[in-house]
Amino acid sequence: MSEAGKQALWGGRFEGASDPLFRRFNDSLPFDYRLAMEDIAGSIAWAKAIHRAGVLSPEELAQLLAALAELAVDIEKNPAAPLGSGEEDVHSWVESRLIKRVGTLGKKLHTGRSRNDQVATDLRLWTRSQIDARAGELVDLQRSLVDLARRHASCVIPGYTHLQRAQPVLLGHWCLAYVEMFDRDRARLADARRRVNVCPLGSGALAGTAYAVDRDQIARDLGFDAATANSLDAVSDRDFVVETLGALSLAAVHLSRMAEDMILYCTQEFGFLELSDAVSSGSSLMPQKKNPDSLELIRGKCGRIVGSHAAMTVTLKGLPLAYNKDMQEDKEPLFDAMESASLSLRMAAVVVANTSVREQRTLAAAKGGYSNATDLADYLVAKGVAFRESHEIVGRAVRFALAADKPLEDLTLDELRQFCPLIGEDVFAALAVESCLRKREVAGGTGPAAVSKAVESAARRLGMA
Ligand code: ARG
């Protein structure tokens, strides 16, 4: 038998050697080495469990735990240590290192355990800590948005529908729209985490372990909320991966939308925002260029993350119970999506902190585009005109103003009165951008008081001073 065959955990049943291409195709160590710490943590819990079940003596347990602790130190020093060992997967790597350290005793650890419940446990531990890290990064990004809102508390921008100027809003209101989305993303991750945080260990290969282990105790030892309830489900369930990727996908969509808003606002056509040199690139050909590459990559990475979610969903479709090797394909999409999401979230926070706002331009744009037309209609309503009629009247006034190439507030009182004699001198105050904002102090609206209240409440929620 070949070296490779001898090394494998399952060599006994085999006479022939593995084809080298099969090895490359089958081995997961090149990517699952990232689970080494989790595999060690799971192994520690399992060693304790089979000790309590009478499989290991106290001395054997102590020896195994010491060896596992040493292994953890090695991994901490060099997380890539397993690479190049030629082992099939991270589980084989941990076991073979143990055997190197404690000899035959290392061969006892796998008693009653399968790589099927082992890998499900490892992946849940890894996903749990990654979810917590993403939640922290979401908070950091939200804080940077609140900072931006505070730095430009009175900045007015045009609000858009159909990407046509619609009504003026405060920049802070725009910031808080994204803060809301990221709040929901955190909530979705927290919800997914509840179903991530259950412990498959003790499910064996599929039927449950034959040893008298205390599964609730194992779950507690690993910080899980509970043990899984059905061994067939426990080893074949990757819903937690799909759910986590789903939550990440939506967060990535939000990041991408924010990036798109900012990319537009950075164009010379809009000219609202300017990114600092720290987060922009130039062109190798066109000397004048400054491109928002950071934002474009945030928008671009969304595709990878959504793709990972789709890949995992389709991988599970049609899998019979229980474990199938297809499930090894869960790791790369999850690892890649987590890393992409982490980079994007951190980059977005840095970009927001490196954004300056050209308040004169945003104000001028907010005043243009007849975005106070609704307020003229509301003015007429206050004078007793039914809204549908005032809408019609203002529509005609806008057409007149367009032909004269003037904003509504630059028409004379006489010009305005041709459309409705109820219009008086007080109309000009109603058409001012400050008035358009002040009228919208409704909860959730863009009124300056409402926005400042919302900014401060977000700041408190995010633990900011
Ligand atoms: N590398 C495998 C995976 O990631 C570990 C489980 C292997 N189980 C098995 N029965 N071959 O899924």
User: pLDDT tens for residues 117-160?
Assistant: 999 999 999 999 999 999 999 999 999 999 999 999 999 999 99
The structure tokens 């099939």 sit at 88
Give which of 382, 346, 410, 440 is closest to 140, Cα–Cα. Answer: 346
* Average pLDDT for 449-457: 98
User: Is the Cβ atom of 377 under 6 angstroms away from ligand 1?
Assistant: no
Residue 1 has pLDDT above 80, yes or no: no
Model pLDDT, residue 184: 98
Model pLDDT, residue 6: 52
User: Is the Cβ atom of 327 under 6 angstroms away from ligand 1?
Assistant: yes
Mutation probe of ligand 1 site: the residue of 33, 122, 312, 328 with most atoms within 8 A of C-beta:
328
Q: Examine the residue annotation and report whether 283 is marked as an active-site residue of this protein.
A: yes
Mutation probe of ligand 1 site: the residue of 13, 39, 119 with most atoms within 8 A of C-beta:
119
- Dist CA 370 CA 230 (whole Å): 63
How far is ligand 1, taken at its centre, from the CA of residue 76, in Å?
A: 24
How far is ligand 1, taken at its centre, from the CA of residue 430, in Å?
A: 69
Model pLDDT, residue 164: 96
Model pLDDT, residue 12: 86
Confidence of residue 15 (pLDDT cuts 50, 70, 90): confident
User: Is the Cβ atom of 32 under 6 angstroms away from ligand 1?
Assistant: yes
User: Is the Cβ atom of 323 under 6 angstroms away from ligand 1?
Assistant: yes
Which CA distances in Å does 5 have to 88, 230, 324? 10, 33, 21
Confidence of residue 10 (pLDDT cuts 50, 70, 90): confident
Model pLDDT, residue 388: 96
Catalytic residue (choose from 129, 276, 283, 457): 283
Q: Examine the residue annotation and report whether 110 is marked as an active-site residue of this protein.
A: no
Long-range contacts of 259-262 (CB under 8 A, 24+ apart): 259/295, 259/296, 259/298, 259/299, 259/348, 260/295, 260/299, 261/174, 262/292, 262/295, 262/351, 262/355
Confidence of residue 76 (pLDDT cuts 50, 70, 90): very high
Q: Terminal CA-to-CA distance of the chain, rounded, Å?
A: 67
Give which of 92, 40, 34, 124 is closest to 332, Cα–Cα. Answer: 34
- Nearest-CA residue for ligand 1 atom 11 is 325
How far is ligand 1, taken at its centre, from the CA of residue 88, in Å?
A: 9
Model pLDDT, residue 2: 42
Sign of the C-alpha dihedral, residues 53, 58, 59, 61?
positive
Residue 416 has pLDDT above 70, yes or no: yes
Residue 7 has pLDDT above 90, yes or no: no
The H-assigned helical ranges of 371-447 are 373-382, 387-404, 413-417, 427-431, 433-438
pLDDT in tens, 178-212: 999 999 999 999 999 999 999 999 999 999 999 99
C-beta neighbour count of 392 within 10 angstroms: 14
How far is ligand 1, taken at its centre, from the CA of residue 326, in Å?
A: 9
The pTM score is 0.95
Give which of 154, 85, 55, 140 is closest to 433, Cα–Cα. Answer: 154
Which CA distances in Å does 104 have to 9, 100, 118, 210? 14, 9, 21, 21
Residue 219 has pLDDT above 70, yes or no: yes
Query: Token digits for 270?
Result: 């809009």
Mutation probe of ligand 1 site: the residue of 22, 27, 115 with most atoms within 8 A of C-beta:
115
Give which of 433, 435, 453 is closest to 444, Cα–Cα. Answer: 453
Model pLDDT, residue 8: 82
pLDDT in tens, 366-410: 999 999 999 999 999 999 999 999 999 999 999 999 999 999 999
How far is ligand 1, taken at its centre, from the CA of residue 55, in Å?
A: 24
134 and 341 in contact (C-beta within 8 Å)? yes
Domains of the chain: 11-111 (1.10.275.10), 116-364 (1.20.200.10), 367-461 (1.10.40.30)
User: Is the Cβ atom of 92 under 6 angstroms away from ligand 1?
Assistant: no
